[in-house]
Amino acid sequence: MKLSNQAVGALMMALQRSLMEQSDIVPVLQGMDFQVNPEDSSHSELVVTNPPTINFDNVELNEEG
C-alpha cells in the first residue's frame, strides 16, 4: 500500500501548517482519515478524506512593481 500524490500533499500541508503555527503535528496526523483511492483500480493507494487547511488571514502581500 502506498500514499497517493494527494495523500503526500496532505501530509506536506500538515507539516507546513505545523511549521507556520509552531505547533505539534501529531494531533493533525492522528486526525487524518485515510481510505483506499477509489480511482485506483489496483486498490494500492491511500487518499486523505479530510486534508488539513491553511489559513492566510494574517498574511500581508507586498506587491512591488
Q: Tell me the pLDDT tens digit for each residue of 1-13.
A: 899 999 999 999 9
Closest CA to 14 of 31, 35, 29: 29
Quick check: pTM over 0.85?
no
Over 80: is that where the pLDDT of 64 sits? no
CA separation for the pair 62, 56 (Å, rounded): 14
Q: Which amino acid is at 7?
A: A
Over 60: is that where the pLDDT of 65 sits? no
